[in-house]
Structure 1
Amino acid sequence: MFEELYEEMENVNVQFVGMSTETARYDFGIVFTNMFFGKPLVVCMQTGRSTLLCSDEANSVEAIQRAFHIDDFGEATRVAKYFQERLPSMPLATQY
């Protein structure tokens, strides 16, 4: 038995992005939603790994490496830079 905490339905904007570097290709889906305090949900279409991410958090290359299991720091830096430019900045807020 479980207790349902919420069930929301929402029409959202989704942006699909493909990018490549010298050594790798990345395909992401970015879901812009009002859920999760408006923070976009970023999904790697190749691995299924996902994270809630705003441009401020993309400043942490290590966070990008952890979220998407990118071993190469240079690759993660390029992906992080892309998200820094494309994702909205979010005000600091207590989430839970």
Structure 2
Amino acid sequence: MSGDFMFLYDETENTKTRYVSFAGEEGRYDLAIITTDRFYGKALVLDLQSNRFAIIGTDDLDEPGYLEHVYRLPEPAADELRQFLHTLF
């Protein structure tokens, strides 16, 4: 390997990470929520149990089926997660 990479960007940024774990009626949620300037006001939300993540803002929360698809959750569990995430934005 020659090591000649064509970087599109290579930046370092300070971020804020919030770790939150909560239990609802549909299950337990362990999240890492990373706030950065990179995603235009959206947050990077990592589900630590499923190893799935998404860049989420209020518009994504209002998109039908988005959380169900991204985190592979049944609708009741996605609704519970959506309700919590709405408190962040």
The size of the alignment, in residue pairs, is 86
Q: Could you say which residue in structure 2 is the equivalent of 1:53?
A: 56
Cα distance in 1 for residues equivalent to 2:30 and 2:53: 12
Alpha-carbon contact 2:54-2:70 (below 8 Å) kept: yes
In structure 1, how many angstroms separate the alpha carbons of the residues matched to 2:88 and 2:21?
13
- Which residue does 1:43 correspond to in 2? 46
Task: Please tell me whether residue 69 in structure 1 is matched to residue 69 in structure 2.
Answer: no
| Aligned equivalents of 1:62, 1:16: Cα separation in 2 | 24
Match of 2:81 among 76, 79, 82: 79
Under a length normalisation based on structure 2, what TM-score does the superposition of the two structures give? 0.84
Deviations 1:28-81 (A, max 9, x none): 11100011223210000112101000123112351011111102x111111111
Q: Which runs of 5+ in 2 are unaligned?
A: none
8 Å contact kept, 1:59–1:81 = no
TM-score (ref. length: structure 1): 0.79
Moved more, 46-55 or 15-24: 15-24
Q: Runs in 1 of length 4+ with deviation above 2 angstroms?
A: none
Max Rg structure: 2
Identify unmatched segments of 5+ residues in structure 1.
88-96
